[in-house]
Chain A
């Protein structure tokens, strides 16, 4: 039982990083494909489509930071807290990356034929990013209460 708890603690420690990266993979793939499709139909502004498609990569960075902030010896005392905070933060980052990728794909699809709405079309993706940032910040805050030993 003790080993299982410690294993879950390690999962919680690495979870934000792994789940954030999985989300970024999916989100960037969705938005990246949209950008590639849009390149076929546009004569200019290709760089901004590619740049927008990289937006869901930030969740990986948040995951890395949360992982380092949670880093401490994994014991029976620390593992439950690490598991709860790490996994929940990771799931939030994963979902925000996937749905941000969807928002970016829709933004690219709309902005390719109406370039003047490009700035506004990014707003939904930025709002989704905001919720990812909430999960990130408060994982750092609440992670401070997990015992160090």
Chain B
């Protein structure tokens, strides 16, 4: 069977995802069922998916992971990602993350990174460093969403920023779709899109939990320590 038809049964067994990750519908497939289905992948492909998870999921990274360590992890996984044709699915979100991180660093008053320093991902690090004082780091034309992201950062609107970045990552993955292909790349792309839907549902649930807690505390008022 040709590579493009390697995972026909697996890919067609995965339910369609919603048109946008920002809706309120339930997840079309649970994490447990999805994991069970992905058990049909070859061992090498399962390893690559695990590498993708390690690179993109902050639960595997920790909050204080130094950039150098993260870059080393990326370099170690890169040949595997290239061999299985999924490098671009990781590289684009990482570059987006780098750009937003640069805006945050500058907002904190950090100076421009030293020339030649590897402080993130993508081919535009030097360019951004050289245009550190410009509002959009000189890459506004490359990333059309950056103007809006910059506005949300300036206005301290983290939820809107998160929403914007999630939508943009979703669009990048949607554009990477290859109709008529049922290969590993399509399975990986599906998984990454599913993760975005799940992340927004989780984010909503956490925000709802916080709102509920605040409401309860406000409602109880001075009777909070009744018992």
**Does chain A have a CB within 8 A of B8?**
yes
CA distance A26 to B4 in the complex (A): 13
The interface on chain B, measured as residues whose beta carbon lies within 8 A of the other chain's beta carbons, has a size of 15
**Given A113-B15, A113-B16, CB of A102 within 8 Å of CB of B9:** no
B1 touches A109 (CB 8 A): no
**Does chain B have a CB within 8 A of A33?**
yes
B14 touches A34 (CB 8 A): no
**Given A41-B14, A41-B15, A113-B16, CB of A34 within 8 Å of CB of B9:** yes
Q: Which of B9, B37, B179 contacts A33 (CB 8 A)?
A: B9
Contact with B along A20-38 (1 / 0, CB 8 A): 0000001001100111111
**Does chain A have a CB within 8 A of B180?**
yes
Interface of A is mostly: helix
Measured between beta carbons, the chain B residues less than 8 angstroms from A33 are 5, 8-9, 12
A106 touches B179 (CB 8 A): yes
B8 touches A34 (CB 8 A): yes
Measured between beta carbons, the chain B residues less than 8 angstroms from A113 are 15-16
**Total residue contacts A-B, CB cutoff 8 A:** 52
A108 touches B1 (CB 8 A): no
**Does chain B have a CB within 8 A of A105?**
yes
Measured between beta carbons, the chain A residues less than 8 angstroms from B15 are 41, 112-113
Nearest-Cβ distance from residue B23 to partner chain A, whole angstroms: 15
Of chain A, the residue at the smallest CB distance from B12 is: A37
B5 touches A109 (CB 8 A): no
**Does chain A have a CB within 8 A of B194?**
no
Contact with A along B1-31 (1 / 0, CB 8 A): 1000100111111111000000000000000
A selection of 14 A-B contacts at a CB cut-off of 8 Å is A33-B8, A33-B9, A37-B13, A37-B14, A40-B13, A41-B14, A41-B15, A105-B8, A106-B180, A109-B12, A109-B182, A112-B12, A112-B16, A114-B16
B interface list, Cβ under 8 A from A: 1, 5, 8-16, 37, 179-180, 182
Cβ-closest 8 pairs across A and B: A37-B12, A113-B16, A37-B13, A37-B9, A33-B8, A33-B9, A40-B13, A34-B12
